[in-house]
Amino acid sequence: MPFDLICLDADDTLWHNMRHFAATQDALVAMLEPFADAGITREALEACEIRNLRLYGYGAKAFTLSMIETALELGGDDVPASVIRDILEAGRALHGHPVELFAGIDDTLNALADRARLVLVTKGDLFHQEAKLAASGLGDRFSGIEIVSDKRPETFAGIFRRYGAAPERSIMAGDSMRSDIIPALEAGAWAAFIPQPLAWSHEQRPAPTGHPRFVELPSLAALVNWLDHAEAA
């Protein structure tokens, strides 16, 4: 069966992302050593991030605010202003980290674009995602760019309508079971899970075992051969 639309995630699908967040979290742990051990700091930060999603959404700005809140939660009035300044500086560095493409992404996108229209579907802060896309040099590979606050079944259903693609002839590829795979399947599309190390626990869900439109692949490049076999079937 031929595919008309290939939707691709950005962070940790086209370029490295979570390792920068992990390094920033390590820096916060070191800053807060006088107030809490590493495990407590990490747990408190994750709980704060999840609690703040409804207020700040996803991305480096939201992460920075959650780091400040975590520092005040663990250290209270004893946290010096210098620590808050250091957290803000860590947040600025996170926001400005270089965009490092995964190996072979250029060739992979060229091959995928030969098979169907490409649409980038990414969530997070609009300004930061636009900046990363511009720095990546990949923007002209896509027929459309969709930067959304979250990925839900209705998000994908709307995208399929806008691009005139039937869900059953569309596929979403990404590294998040929660955001890329499950909602795309629920919207009636196919989904290719490409796991990456350092995945945030909030984005992890059990794989939909036995689902007829789900596939797990070792890399985005592997999607090219999978599509060829799927279209020949």
The last residue of one of the domains, among 41, 66, 95, is 95
At residue 200, the pLDDT reads 82
Task: Assess whether 11 and 24 both reside in one domain.
Answer: no
End-to-end CA distance of the chain: 7
**How far apart are the C-alpha atoms of 231 and 225, rounded to whole Å?**
10
Q: Which domain holds residue 210?
A: 5-15+100-232
Strand partners, 7: 119, 172
40 is written with which tokens?
Answer: 């407590």
CA 119 from chain center: how many Å? 15
**How far apart are the C-alpha atoms of 39 and 80, rounded to whole Å?**
21
Task: Assess whether 83 and 71 both reside in one domain.
Answer: yes
Any idea what the CATH number is for the domain that residue 148 is in? Answer: 3.40.50.1000
- Amino acid code (one letter) for 231: E
Helix (H, G, I), strand (E, B) or coil at 34: coil
Task: Assess whether 197 and 126 both reside in one domain.
Answer: yes
The last residue of one of the domains, among 73, 95, 117, is 95
CB atoms within 10 A of CB 66: 25
Domain total of the chain: 2
What are the residue ranges in the chain where pLDDT is below 50? none
Region of 119 (left: φ > 0; alpha: ψ -120 to 50; beta: rest) is beta
Q: Are 160 and 47 within 8 A, CB to CB?
A: no
At residue 1, the pLDDT reads 64
Sheet containing strand 5-8, strands side by side: 144-148, 117-123, 5-8, 170-174, 190-193, 214-216
Those residues with Cβ within 8 angstroms of residue 11's Cβ, 6 or more apart along the chain or in another chain: 17, 18, 122, 124, 132, 175
At residue 198, the pLDDT reads 80
